[in-house]
Amino acid sequence: MHAVSGHHISDRPKQDDRNSPEVQTMFNPEETLAMLKAPQKMRLIDLLQSGNSLPWTEIDDELKALKLVQPGHRRAENATLNNWGWSVAMMAASPESP
10-23 pLDDT, tens digit each: 555 555 454 545 44
Show the low-confidence residues of the chain (pLDDT under 50).
7, 16, 18, 20, 22-23
Q: Which residues constitute the domain of residue 62?
A: 28-98
pLDDT of residue 24: 54
Give the 3-state DSSP-derived string for the chain, with helices as H, strands as E and coil as C: CCEECCEEHHHCCCCCHHHCHHHHCCCCHHHHHHHCCHHHHHHHHHHHHHCCCEECCHHHHHHHHCCCEEECCCCCCEEEECHHHHHHHHHHHCCCCC
pLDDT of residue 67: 96
Structural domain includes residue 34: yes
pLDDT of residue 74: 82
What's 64's domain CATH number?
1.10.10.10
Structural domain includes residue 2: no
CB 56 within 8 A of CB 62: no
pLDDT of residue 32: 96
Structural domain includes residue 32: yes
How many domains in the chain?
Answer: 1
